[in-house]
Amino acid sequence: MRGRLELQAGHRLIARRRGGSIAATAAGERFAEDARAILRLHEVAAFRLAERPLAGIVRLGLSDDFASGRGFTTLLAAFAQSHPRVELRVDVASSRSLLATIADGGLDFALTKRPADNGEGELLARHEVVWVAGRKAVPAPPWRLVLFPDPCAYRDLALSALHAAGADWIVSYTTPSLGGLKAALTAGLGIAPLASDLICDDLRPVPAAAALPALGQVALFLHAREPDRSPTTTHFAALLRRHFSRDGRAAFPVTGAP
Count the neighbouring beta carbons within 10 Å of the beta carbon of residue 207: 12
* Averaged confidence pLDDT in the chain: 82
> What integer is the mean pLDDT of 171-196?
94
Q: What are phi and psi of 9, to 5 degrees?
A: -75, -25
pTM for the whole structure: 0.71
For the chain, percent of residues with pLDDT exceeding 70: 81
Higher pLDDT, 61 or 96: 61
Burial class (CB in 10 A: 0-12, 13-18, 19+), 170: exposed
Burial class (CB in 10 A: 0-12, 13-18, 19+), 185: buried
Check residue 66 and give its pLDDT.
Answer: 77
> What integer is the mean pLDDT of 197-205?
87
Check residue 22 and give its pLDDT.
Answer: 66
Between the alpha carbon of residue 171 and those of residues 35, 178, 214, the distances in Å are 43, 16, 18
Phi-psi region of 249 (alpha: psi -120 to 50; beta: other; left: phi over 0): beta
Q: What are phi and psi of 2, to 5 degrees?
A: -60, -45
Domains plus CATH for the chain?
1-49 (no CATH), 126-218 (3.40.190.10)
Sign, CA dihedral 153-156-158-160, equals negative
Check residue 41 and give its pLDDT.
Answer: 63
Higher pLDDT, 179 or 40: 179
For residue 144, the cross-strand partners are 170
> What integer is the mean pLDDT of 75-104?
90
Does 258 have pLDDT greater than 50? Answer: no
> What integer is the mean pLDDT of 2-9?
71
Highest mean pLDDT of the ranges 13-27, 58-72, 97-111: 97-111
